[in-house]
Structure 1
């Protein structure tokens, strides 16, 4: 998947646990884990906004695009 989620990087930079972020954002630990591990298929803008507010960062600090080299477009 060409969208990389760098949530674990931002959590480390802010010295914040997943549990603390979960409490601040109001999202379950399970859903945060899915997002953090890159398994999520979508994220609501309201959730992204709450995460950015809690971590004092920009969406681009959390989400990154990387092209799949060698993969052809259908």
Structure 2
């Protein structure tokens, strides 16, 4: 966020401004997305998402683990 600056960040709202009525918003920058969704029933059930566009769905977590921690592969079965 700091690198993108405030000019690179967008806010979007959809829905009601009244209590107990559905609403949604998102905050998005070049490297991230935050979503808040509260539209079910009487707006009493929230879902939220944080996305990091730097490989959050493509990062190889197992390879990163092996790079970070030593493993004795000679005794692995």
TM-score range, shorter chain: under 0.3
TM-score by length of 2: 0.20
Give the TM-score normalised by the residue count of structure 1: 0.21
- Indicate the structure (1 or 2) with the bigger Cα radius of gyration: 2
Between the two structures, name the one with larger relative contact order (CA 8 Å, sep ≥ 6): 1
Structure with higher helix content: 1
